[in-house]
Structure formats: structure tokens, C-alpha cells
Structure 1
Amino acid sequence: MIVWLASFPRSGNTFFRIALNRLYGAPTYVVYDVDGVAAQIGADLMDARDRPGTFDQMRDADEVYFVKTHRRRDDPVIAAEDRAVCLVRDGRECVVSWARLWTRQHADEPDYEERFAEEARSIITRTTGGTGGWGQNVLSWHHSASPAPIWVRFEDLIANPRAAVETAIGEAAPGLTPARQAELPTFGELHAREPGFFRSGTTGAHQAELPPDLHDLFWDQPDNATAMRLNGYR
């Protein structure tokens, strides 16, 4: 059986994979041919592995395979009957975090903030590719057929990762039992290990980091406005 770990980039997917592996000892996989995050921060953190077979073979197996994807729900490799855990974060926070990640190599350059703003603008107006825009991506999973996705808010995951992961997995794969003595890394520990990837683990960065015109541009995208209200973000 496949359980998709779905999200728009920078919504807590990697942290969820780490906690999932620590609590359940479950390896994790990705929909992509290469796990770029594992290559950057280390496969050991979430026991990232190569897929053991085709998606159909994994789907038909008795074992549960947790597979990360940033693609929209209509991706052809995702079957209608597949279960999914969907991680969602305020879209403005995703834009800031993703733009910072993509431009971090220019952080010491005098025009860095202009580079960051341009990257943020590109992310906000994105409509193509497997990921699509933030609102497109989130709404595609909200429009999912049965079985309905299991939603995990970034804020809840950061505040109490054990509870957030156990609640989601208890619904997605009820046959699995968590290890009660398992210890989860704090976000501070992850930041110390890989500060370029694990930035802060907080909310509200968009208020100070996203220029006013990009705030307006974000809300001008109809899918963003709909998805924000649907997920309780104002």
C-alpha cells in the first residue's frame, strides 16, 4: 500500500518524514527519481531509500510505503484509491521559505533582497509544472476523491510532532504501532545540523520578510485566496 506524504514545498514534509521514521521505524521514499533532500541533509535522518519497485507493485504490496510528493493530486502516478497525508502551511510562509532556500547562496551579495523578491514573485505566480502554485497544489488535494486526505497543519506539527504524526498515521495506516520510547529531534537540533535547510520552524516570517507588493500579489491569485480561507489562514 502506498501512503503519499503530500505537500507544497516547505510545508514540513521533511520534518514529518523524520518523525515518522523515529516513531515507527518506517523508511520513506520519494516520487522523484532522486531524493534531493536526502542528498543534502543525509538519508539517515528519515531512512530515505530507493523505491523497491514500480508504483503499482508498491501499491499492491501488503507493506505500507510512505512516499513524499510535492506534485498535485492529478499526477498520473497517484491512483484514485491511494491514501494521503497532506501537510499544509500558510502559503505566504511557504513562499518566503522556498525563496530563501533557492537564493541562500547569494545571501552575502549586495543585491540579495532583490534576488529574494524576484524568486518569491516567481513562486507566487507559478502555474505550471508538477507542483504548480501554492493554491493550485493545496486545492488539488482538497478536491481529492475518496478516500479523503488526512490533513496536518504545519503549526500543529511543529508544536507537538509526536501527536500530529501519530494522529495522522493512526488514520492512514492503523496497523502500525509507534514506539513509545522514541525520541524526536527538536527543530533546534535539526537547524544546528543543517541551518540552510531547517531555517526557523516558526510562523509569521512573511510579515517581516515578504514585501507589501508581494503580499498583494499573493492574494490576487484566486486559488491562493480560496485555499487560504479553506485552511483557516487569514
Structure 2
Amino acid sequence: MIVWLASYPRSGNTFFRIVLNRLYGLRTCVVYEVDGVAERVGSELVGFQERPDDISRMRESDEVFVLKTHNQTRHSPVRGDDRVVYLVRDGRDSVVSEAHLRSDVGTTGERSGPDLLTEERRRRFETELRQAITRPTKRGVGKWGTNVLSWSRWPRWSASRHVVVRYEHLIREPAEVVRQAVDLVLPDVPPIAGADIPSFAELHRLDGGFFRRGSVGSHRDELPAHLEELFWAQPDNSEAMRMLGYAR
């Protein structure tokens, strides 16, 4: 059995994996050849496991395989009868966080809005931010809105097999939100009594560059106005933001 754990980058996927591992002992594999996140923050922390070569055998197995991806549905070997947990975050926060990670800004663990960056770092950050906003949609991850729409509106989904998890809820009540998602897609899997769930503050101390702020609305002091306008100018972004209720 496959459970897809899908999201646009920097939408809470890694935090969900960590809680899933601690609360249920469910490990995750990835669609990619290398799990860069597990290599960076630790395979035991995220609960990494190697992916079998044949996805069709994973799907037919009695074993549960949780499979992480950031790709759009059209670039993922997903079927309508698969189970899916899709994580969403305000697209402005996602692209800001992605740009920081890609430009290696904020690795000291301190708050690192553009007003606190050197000029060189600011340029690098804004270059990465623009590239994230205007990323081609024909393959892979695509733009934020294209990614969200591909997973949220695929017509083959069964409502009982497709769960949308909001980042703002996950950060506030991680154990409860993960429990609710697992209860829907894997109702026969019990949680581990007395599971120790790390707080975001603990994860931040582990790697402040990766677990950077963990906040809602970080775009307000980090997304330059001209790039926010560029974000909203992408039709799929505007449609997905309206669909999810994120206000302009």
C-alpha cells in the first residue's frame, strides 16, 4: 500500500515526517534517488527508509509505504486509488522559505528577514525568490499554485483517501493534526503511547538553517512588495490562494 506524502517544498513535509515517525513508527521513503533532507537533518529523525525499486510492488504489498514527493501529480506515478496526505502553506511563506534555504541564508538560526541581510545575501535571496515564483510548470515541482492545484483538484481522488493538511494547523498542534490525517488514510494503524514529539524550537536548535522560523505569515517582513506582486501575477497562484482562503 502506498500513502503519498506530497507538498510544494517548505510546506511542512519534513516536520510531518518527523511526527509520523515518532507517533506511529511509520518511516518514509522518497521518489528521488537521494533524500537530501534525511542526509542533512538525520535519517533517524525523519524516519527514512530505502524505497523498493518497483512502485507497483509497493502498491500491491500489505506493507505500508509512505512516499514523499514535491512533484506535481502529472510527474508522479500516482493513481486514483492511492492514499494521499497533501500539505499546504500560504504560498508566499513557502516561496520565501524555499528561497532562504536555496540561498543558504539564515543558517545561523537567527531571524533573517531581508532587512537584516548583507547586500550580497539580499541579492542572492531575491534571485532565488524570483526563480521560485516563475519556475516553469512543465515538469517536476512547478510553481506553487500549479503544484497545489494538481494535488487538490485531481478528479480521480476519493474523499476518504485524500487529506489536506494545513501548515498553520500542523505547527500549532502537530500530534493531533498527524493523528487526524492517519485516522483517515490508515485507520487501522494505532499511535504509540507516550510518543515524544520534538517541538519546533528543539528542531531549530538542531539545524536553524533548515528549521528556520516555523511561523505563519513570515512573508510579511521578508517578501519584497514587487516580488509579492509577481507572485500574485501567476494565474495558478491566485487561483490556489483563493481556493485555500489565503487573503491578499
TM interval, shorter chain, is: over 0.9
Contact 1:28 1:65 in 2 (8 A): yes
Task: Please report how far the alpha carbon of residue 83 of structure 1 lies from its aligned counterpart in structure 2 after TM superposition.
Answer: 0.9
Unaligned runs of 5+ in 1: none
Name which of 173, 196, 215 aligns with 2:228: 215
Amino acid at match of 2:242: R
Name which of 107, 129, 132 aligns with 1:120: 129
Name which of 152, 155, 161 aligns with 1:142: 152
Alignment of 1:28-177 (within 5 A): 28-104=28-104, 110-128=119-137, 129-144=139-154, 145-148=156-159, 149-177=162-190
Contact 1:124 1:134 in 2 (8 A): yes
User: Using the alignment, how far apart are the partners of 2:97 and 2:63 within structure 1?
Assistant: 34
Task: Please report how far the alpha carbon of residue 80 of structure 1 lies from its aligned counterpart in structure 2 after TM superposition.
Answer: 2.4
Q: Secondary structure of 1:74's partner?
A: helix
Task: Please report how far the alpha carbon of residue 10 of structure 1 lies from its aligned counterpart in structure 2 after TM superposition.
Answer: 0.1
Unaligned runs of 5+ in 2: 108-116
User: Using the alignment, how far apart are the partners of 2:187 and 2:63 within structure 1?
Assistant: 12
User: Using the alignment, how far apart are the partners of 1:46 and 1:207 within structure 2?
Assistant: 29
Structure 1 stretches of 4+ with a deviation exceeding 6 A read none
Contact 2:105 2:209 in 1 (8 A): no
Q: Secondary structure of 1:192's partner?
A: helix
Contact 1:106 1:112 in 2 (8 A): no
Percent of paired sites with the same residue: 49
Amino acid at match of 1:75: H
Could you say if the C-alpha distance between residues 164 and 76 of structure 1 is closer, same or farther in structure 2, counting changes exceeding 3 Å? closer
User: Using the alignment, how far apart are the partners of 2:106 and 2:28 within structure 1?
Assistant: 32
Task: Please report how far the alpha carbon of residue 76 of structure 1 lies from its aligned counterpart in structure 2 after TM superposition.
Answer: 4.4
TM-score, normalised with respect to structure 1: 0.96
